[in-house]
Amino acid sequence: MKKPELLNKGVGSAAISLAAALLLAPALMAAVTVGSSRALSRLVTPNGDSRNDTFVFQCHNPSELLVKGEIFDLKGRKVADMTLKEISLTDSYYKMEWNPNLGMRAAGGVYIYQITVGETVIKGTVVVIR
């Protein structure tokens, strides 16, 4: 049985194929939840159709602690800072967002997110599919 190729030739040098994403999906899609904080969209398809174009992490922050979100590549290099998308004061949720098309356009592939809420650090993976 032939293994799926990790790189989708002809679409971009670092584009990850859908077959590779599906192969990795069980490990990547395991919910990363700390308390009521969780990743809302871990497979990102930034093609401008307004569906799954960005990565969003929802933080439960009833103490209104400092919230910081960062994105790293698999070599540990910082790719981007996440931005505050929304604060819900009624239920104490902060939504942090990363748009792979802003700044230095992120190539398709697997990235590590790190969310810091006060002293708590939450890490996980996000996949950009181009």
List pLDDT tens digits, range 34-86.
Answer: 568 999 989 999 999 999 999 999 999 988 899 999 999 999 999 999 999 99
Number of domains present in the structure of the chain: 1
Indicate whether 13 belongs to any domain: no
pLDDT of residue 68: 97
- Nearest Cα neighbor of 26 from 11, 40, 43 is 43
Indicate whether 108 belongs to any domain: yes
Question: Does residue 19 or residue 65 have the better pLDDT?
Answer: 65
Indicate whether 5 belongs to any domain: no
What are the helix (H) ranges across 1-130? 18-28
pLDDT of residue 34: 55
Whole-angstrom distance, CA of residue 10 vs CA of residue 55: 25
Indicate whether 11 belongs to any domain: no
| Domain limits for position 108 | 18-128
- Contact between 41 and 52 under an 8 Å Cβ cutoff? The reply is yes
Q: What is the pLDDT of residues 103-123, one digit of tens each?
A: 889 999 999 999 999 999 999
Question: Does residue 27 or residue 109 have the better pLDDT?
Answer: 109
User: Is residue 20 over pLDDT 60?
Assistant: no
pLDDT of residue 31: 45
pLDDT of residue 13: 38
Strands 78-81, 120-128: pairing kind: unpaired
Indicate whether 93 belongs to any domain: yes
Any idea what the CATH number is for the domain that residue 56 is in? 2.60.40.10
Indicate whether 112 belongs to any domain: yes
Q: Could you tell me the pTM of the whole model? A: 0.73
Whole-angstrom distance, CA of residue 70 vs CA of residue 126: 12
Indicate whether 7 belongs to any domain: no
Indicate whether 9 belongs to any domain: no
- Categorize the per-residue pLDDT at 11 as very low, low, confident or very high, splitting at 50, 70 and 90: very low
